[in-house]
Amino acid sequence: MKIAVIGTGGQLGTELQDIAAKRTDITWVFAGLEVVDLSKPETISAFVMLEKPSVVINAGAYTSVDKAETDQALALQINGHAVGTLAKACSEVGATLIHISTDYVFNGNNTTPYLTTQATDPVNYYGYSKMIGEQQALAAHATGTAIIRTSWVYSFYGNNFVKTMLRLMGERESLNVVADQQGCPTYAADLAEACVAIATANNFVPGIFHYSNSGAITWHTFAATIGALAGKKCTVHPVPTSAYPTPAKRPAYSVMDLTAITVAYPTVKVYAWEDSLKRCLQQLGALA
């Protein structure tokens, strides 16, 4: 089996490289920006046609939520049209596609976890661009595409909420963190593990799936728990979203129901958010 990973510089791509170092039974190809630039469609098709992988994991994306509000053309190309191009190329070589999407395709009006079957209605352009990517992937390669929506991703690698909180808590006596947005964190190492479980499953099941760690919390709860587990003395104050206006609106509620992925792929493991946070903090050397 050959697995090709697009988007190697991000949190998920780097975690997949860690798995690849251990899973030597699989042939891995990692395509960084110098090989596959999602803003340049010709590089996508050329790479897939050259490598002819069994599975492509698309970990590449335009991820700047606020910047996407003004940088719409580039966000739409990378998160939308490029995904359609990639799905078409996968279809032509008989490869399956595992594409990473987001909880931000939802409007946040729910009060119970979002099902994979619920209608999308993004409240910002980033979410819109990711929704277009989902639609184009399924239109081009419906029987060979698994879309995984995830949320609040953090990792040992890259820049993320956990590492930012640790840094700020070491610099300040108190922090204000939004307490009226509810969702669930996802440790990128767990997401990478789930992607490989799907890629190597005996029976590939196409469609849309949700994957995060389990539970439902606010950003404030997340921050306070990071501080407590890391033994930080910093006080974390809850504040409303209105206290931190941003160019892009965020959904107030984006907890996702994880049932579909565990039914279709029994080897996919779902971990409690606090347990995964402890593992990441331990890896960072920050666990008290």
45: in domain: yes
Instruction: Give residue 42's pLDDT.
Output: 96
pLDDT at 273: 98
282 in a structural domain: no
Q: What is the mean pLDDT of the chain?
A: 97
User: What is the mean pLDDT for each group of 10 consecutive residues in the chain (288 residues)?
Assistant: 96 98 97 96 97 98 97 98 98 98 98 97 98 98 98 97 98 97 98 98 97 98 98 97 95 98 98 98 96
236 in a structural domain: no
- Residue 227, in any domain of the structure: no
Q: Give the burial string for 88-113 (b: 16+ CB within 10 Å, else e).
A: bbbbeeebbbbbbbbbbbbbbebeeb
Residue 29 has what pLDDT? Answer: 98
Nearest to 75 by CA among 113, 119, 128, 116: 128
Whether the full predicted model's pTM is greater than 0.95, yes or no, is yes
Sole residue written with tokens 């595409």: 145
pLDDT of residue 77: 98
- Domains identified in the chain, total number: 1
For residues 8 and 59, the answer to whether their CB atoms sit within 8 Å is: yes
Structure tokens at 74: 């580039």
Other beta carbons within 10 Å of 214: 14
Residue 193 · residue 19 · CB < 8 Å? yes
What is the tens place of the pLDDT at every residue in 49-73?
A: 999 999 999 999 999 999 999 999 9
Specify the residue for token string 């009226």: 180
Structural domain including 84 reads 2-159+186-214+256-270
Dihedral sign from CA coordinates of 258, 219, 230, 149: positive
Question: Is residue 222 a part of any domain in this protein?
Answer: no
Token digits for 203?
A: 């029976």
Q: Is residue 123 domain-resident?
A: yes
- Looking at the domain assignment, is residue 287 inside a domain? no
d(CA 241, CA 250): 9
Domain contains 288: no
| CATH for 103 | 3.40.50.720
Question: Which residue in 188, 3, 1 sits closest to 100, CA to CA?
Answer: 188
- DSSP 3-state of 152: coil
Catalytic residue of the set 62, 104, 125, 126 = 126
* 271 catalytically annotated: no
pLDDT of residue 131: 98
pLDDT of res. 267:
97
The predicted structure's pLDDT at residue 12: 98
